[in-house]
Each structure stands twice: as C-alpha cells, then as structure tokens.
Structure 1
Amino acid sequence: MMEPLAFRMRPRTLDEVVGQQHLIGPGKIIWRMVEARMLSSMILYGPPGTGKTSIASAIAGSTKYAFRTLNAATDSKKDLQVVAEEAKMSGTVILLLDEIHRLDKAKQDFLLPHLESGRIVLIGATTENPYIAINPAIRSRAQIFEVKPLTAAEVGLAIDRALKDPQRGLGKLPLVLDDDARTQLITATNGDLRSALNGLELAARSTAPASDGQIYLTLSVIEESVQKRSLVADKDGDGHYDVISAFQKSIRGSDTDAALHYLAQLIAAGDLVSIARRLVVIAYEDIGLANPPAVERAVTAVQAAERIGFPEARIPLANAVIELCLSPKSNSAIDAIDAALARVNQGNSGAVPDHLKDAHYQGAQKLGRGVTYRYPHDYPEDWVAQQYLPDRIKNDQYYQPKQNGTFERAFAKQYRQLLAAQRGQQPPQR
C-alpha cells in the first residue's frame, strides 16, 4: 500500500521544512540545537498539519539519530519500553510522541528517568495548549515551542515541491493544476499542509487523463477532493477559546468587522451555546451601564437565536453584535462588584450596623436590632440619610461611574448626588 503524499514528502533535513522559520531558520533556537548537537526534549504545539511531525523528522534526519514515532493515546507502555531498550543499545533515540496531552501517569513515570538521562530526546506534539493540558512533570523537562499556522505562500511552496518531485512526490504524473484550483487547494485547507497534500494526491490519482494524456486538476476536481477545514478548532480545544477571546475583545474594542468575523467562525462551528453565553457576558461586562437598552436587546437576541436555531439564528446574533460594537462602552459595573468582592475577601470589614439587622423576631428590640432604622418611604422623596455600610468601612466607594453614554452620565450624576447627601454634604436633587 502506498504511503500518503504528506508522509512521503516529510522533510529529511531542516532545510526542507516549510514555514516555522522562527524556530528552524538559521540562527533560531532549534537550528542552533541541531547545529551544536545539543538536543533537549521539547513540546511542539499548534494547529493540525502545520509541521510538528515534519520538524521532528527533520531534526532526526539532520542529526542522524534514530527516529521513532508513538502516540500517547493509543500506544502502550510496552511500546515505550521498546524505544528505551533501543536507546540503551544504540545511543540517543528521538521519540516523537503524538498527542502528548493524552499521556497517562504510568507512561509518564516510565519516561521521566529516560528524559533525565538524555537517552530519549522527547519531541511531544499536541494541538492543545501545553500550559493547560500537559502534566507539569513533563512540561518542566521540555522546552515549549509554538508552531504557527502556515501562510498561503508556504502551503503553495510545498504543493509546488510535491508536483515536481519525481521520487517522493507526483512529478512522474502528467498533472496540470489550474491556477484557481491551486488557490482553492491552499485556502480551503486553511494552513493544514497535510490536508492540502493528501487532497492533491486524491485529485491526481482519481482523475482520468484527458485525450492528450494530461491529467487536468480543475477547480471542481479540487473542491471534490479537499475537505474544507474550519478556522475553529474542536469546541474543547485551545483554538476555540482563542476565537471566543478574540470575539469579546473585538466587541470591546468597537471593531464591528472583526467581531462579525469571529462570530462567523463560531457559527460555522455550530456552537450556539458558546455564542449565547459569551454575548450575554459581553453585553453586561463591556457595555453595561453605558447603554442598558442595548444590553436588554442583546439578551433578547440571544433568546431569539436559541429559540429558532441555526441557520436563522445568525440574524439576531448579527444584529446584537453590530449594536454592541457601535455602542458606548463601560465596565464600571464589573469593576464595582470586583472592588466590593475584594473588600469582602480581605475580611475584617466589620459587622452589619445594628439598625439594619433583622428585627422580625421576639427579643430583637432588647438587643437593639433595627431600633433606630429609618424607613425611607416615611420621608419626602422616599429617601433619608442613614449609614448602611459597617462602621469600619463606612467610607468605602466601589462604583466609579464613567461618562460614556447618556445613560451612565445620568447614573453618575444621581450617584454623586446621593453619595454627597448620604455624607451630609448636600441634600439630594430629584
């Protein structure tokens, strides 16, 4: 059985690696490690098909060390023992351990002493954020390098190499790749070189030659052969949370087009639950008191989206996102409650004043509970000055109103008037 094109085109040296020049370019960290033959264990993390396995293979090819590949999820501790025995017999072995975030404790405990001795140089590959998903014991013994998504130019370079290479690639086939088909091959796979190469091979080997003997790879052929890859990673993956983060930060930054872009990614992933939750949070956290009606409309839009579902849910969601982007912003509410929580968590804030304590039980009056409480509705304007905070923190002020929008400017004016009246500086103005 023929190995897939992506496997056959795997780099043999660092010079053949496409992309990742921040790691393997001349003078960069992995390049220097290989040049000095001072390899240390490392963890490579990034999206699928961006070169993690290629870098490991190139390191092995450049150093001439034995190279073995295992999967932390599917291979057993016995498989690790085989690699360890080989390392004892022949010297250093480079072990590419795919899905390293799935490494269980038994395998980890077996590996650790071999990593310490240097007999096994571990190159862990993962799509998950290692600072979150990988055990600290492994993480502390490896350098962590992020593998970046490949650019369109880099994917195009790899495709051209595969088309020309007669030994490992498709160079022996009479292929003609149309320009628009090449563009589709690059863009549809979204930087996943493995998908691009394997899609190219499927198209090449499943298309019959034309009457002139040429195999024409047209746009329609490529579209049928390449599965379009979403920008959004698995809903439990690191990339998914990056998109959610970018979504909120774009709305907070009032960039309507960026916010719609990230909303579209989440819609393409079908993740209405995350969109709904995040949009409500954004409305209250980032717009808040600057524009309460916009907050209410965002909540209504989320409820409508949840009721009608996709694809129509995109319409109320887009309405809400655009309005929130263009709305005045204020985070004064979240700042206020966080300041109050900080005070509570510090402790030592004092007791509830006696006049505010519960007085609805027999004997409360003897204890002085609620005796001097002033019922605001008994006073003009339904307000009367009295102390509500504990004595120890009676001058605390948590809410710091902003002036971003008509509503919060009005709230700010009322807040300051009430605060001044409460402290006996002037009566409130209604």
Structure 2
Amino acid sequence: MGYSRESENMTTELLSRGFMLSWFASNCSPCNSSGGKCGFDFESSYFQCYCSDRPHANICGLKGKSRTPSAGKSRTLAAGIAATVAGIGFIVVILYCLRKRSIIFFWKEHNKTQQNVEAFLRDYEPLRVKRYSYLNVKKMTNSFKIKLGRGGFGDVYKGELDDGSLVAVKVLNQTKGEDGQEFINEVATISGTSHVNVVTLFGFCFERDKRALIYEFMPNGSLEKFIFDENAAETRHRLNWETNYQISLGIARGLEYLHSGCNTRILHFDIKPHNILLDVEFVPKISDFGLAKICKREESVISSTMGPRGTAGYIAPEVFSKNFGGISYKSDVYSYGMMILEMVGGRKNINVRVDNTSEIYFPHWVYKRLELDEELQLERIRDEEDRVRVRKMIITSLWCIQTDPSSRPTMSKVIEMLEGSLDSLQVPPKPFLYSPPRSPPAESSG
C-alpha cells in the first residue's frame, strides 16, 4: 500500500472532525415494564429482555423466544453497530501503523544524519575548534536576543564568550531531507584554515537537531550594505576608492589561500557581497562555506555531478552547463569578478531602474567605455590615484568573468594585476554571453 504523509494527515483530520451514528432500536418499554432489562445478544443478533429467570424475546414471563415485529429491525441495528465498530477499529489500526511507520522513517533519517555528522567529527579529531552544548549557545547569545542577520542556511545572532570575546552565532536551519552536509562543509573547511582574510571559526554545537557555528564577530557586517544601500551617501556607508581597492585585494588574497595555500584545495562556490564580512578596520573576511567543496590540490576539474550551486548573478557559466567547460577553482574567480564589478558600479550588475537600455547591464556599459577610452563617470573619484585604482579593478574583473574558464586568471595572477602597473594591463576580449533583456521594474526580483 502506498504511503504519504498527506494521506495520513487527511485521515487524521477526518477523524478529528467527528461523525454521527444513527440507528433504530427496539422499543424496550414492555421489557422494562415487566421488570426486565433490555439488552442485545451478540450470539443470536437479537434484542433480548433479560429477566430474573432467563432472557426472553420481549417481556419477562413469555414462553420461548418469540420473534416480535421489532426483531428484524433489531437485527439490522445490530449489524449496523457491528459494522461501525469494525470500521472504526480498522481505521484506528491503519492510523497506528501509518504513524508507527512515519515515526520509524523519520527516526531512521534523523539517526542517519546524526551518524554522518558524528562520524565526520570523529574522523576530524582533534579539531582546532571547541564543541559547545546547546545550553552554552543559548547562554552566550542571551537566548538569541540580538539577531544580526539571516543567511541561506540559518539566522545569525550576536553572542559573547566567557572571556568577553564577541562572537557571531549562526544557528543552522533544519530542512527536509537535509543530511548535515552544510554543517560538515563549514566545520571541515574553516576549522583547518588560518588566514587574515578568512573568517575564524571558534566552535560549533551539534546536539541532536540543534546545530550552530560560532564565528569571530565582524562589527561592520557584510560588504553588501556598503554596495547596495541606496541611501549610503547619507548614512556614510559609501566607502572611498582606497578602501574598496584594499577590500578587493584582501578578498583576492583570501581566495588565493583557499585555492592554493591549504593542504587541500577549497572551492567556495558562493562568493558574493553578502558572504564577505568586514572587521572594525574594514579588513574583508570570506565567510559562509555551506556550499564549499574540498578537493585535492592536483585536481584541475571536479565532478559535475554535484549539481548547480551558488547565487544567481555570480554563478560561473560552467557550473550550470558543461558546454562552457569543466568546474574548477576558476568558478570562484568568475564570482569574484562579478562581485568586484558590483563594488565599482555601486549597484547590481543587472539594473532595470536606469533609463538607458545600454546601461542596464553594468559589465557591458563599463566595457564599452574602456574600449572607447571614455571617462567612467563614477562617483567619488577624487584624484588620479582613485582613477588608477578603479581602472585596475575593472580590467582585472573583466578578465575574471571571461566565458571560457581557461581564459580567466588564477587568484595569484589577480593579486599581481591589482598590485601591478595599470599600463601593464590589457583590456580583455568582450567576455559576456549575452545582454540581458530589459524588464519592467515591477517584474524585477531586485
């Protein structure tokens, strides 16, 4: 028999609403008047008048078991009651079996996840991070009092360790069918890293279905708010070009470390402004490794069976279609390039709010001006040094988002391009797959 949670819920709902039973019973007045008690004999399927000497057909004192006109009706009633009782019993048994099967199914799934994560934690011992209980997590966050933000895999809360250190605590979501892989990815990747441009993991909690990750606290939050805040000029969120340049360089160094500075190569697969955190000095830290993949350093291309991963607008072409090449660390390079172009433009690369159709897709717009050697007309460029920084960021980014992965630079080369002379940089071929069609603002997803 097929089983689904929907069918169980439907049956339960029907029973919980209740139902009405009605039947015709024999007139028990004559029996009661004769001093007997009216009852039902399951063996004969007749209503009987139970007297002091023995059961009678209708009233006490009659000889034998005469069948009165009400006997047929009584038999019908008996059959109806018996069928109803049997039906209810059958439904109860079915519900019990379904619920038991459901409990066993979900217990097995939960137990499998528990075993997967515990096996991982054993294999990676001794970890360089501390394991906390869920009670500790509640204590350090003051029962999750201050919420810092929301990510793809959970909410982030402000916390404080016993030594007074401030932390950001990410409480992971529990999604249907989730096997603990996001948790394993984060702990496996970050626990073995140590770099100024990669966020530090202080500890974790894994207690049945309660999972949390404890990171160093970043006072300035994510890079996202400094790029896309439309009121940034008034709220002083806009960063000057020196700071933007240093942030782009710091992110490049963090990615270079992940790609070639660790014992194993770590591919992030979700580089975007939201996942770049800034400390009090605006030093960038790469965070959120829920989609990361660890591979051998000698592996140039990884399996494409892992399925598309990342965020729309930053995903490299080869990640969603093998026609563009193999998936590798060059996929992170593409995401990095798209993100830096958004830093330069101070907006999403696709912007439906502008009036000029040619200015909708910022990479097209900026490439055209580089080709014609026109002024970029960007805000806050104060002097020649700012102009040089911006041009280096743009040219480097355009190389990073080349359609062919083999045409993209490594992150080591990206650092060299950013730190080198502007005169040594060549404008790359036009790297774009297409010019996105213009959509009305009402249809835009933002």
Name the structure with the higher strand share: 2
Higher Rg: 2
Q: Quick one: higher RCO (CA 8 Å, sep 6+), 1 or 2?
A: 1
If the length of structure 1 is used for normalisation, what is the TM-score? Answer: 0.23
> With structure 2 as the length reference, what TM-score do the two structures score?
0.22
Structure with the largest fraction of helix: 1
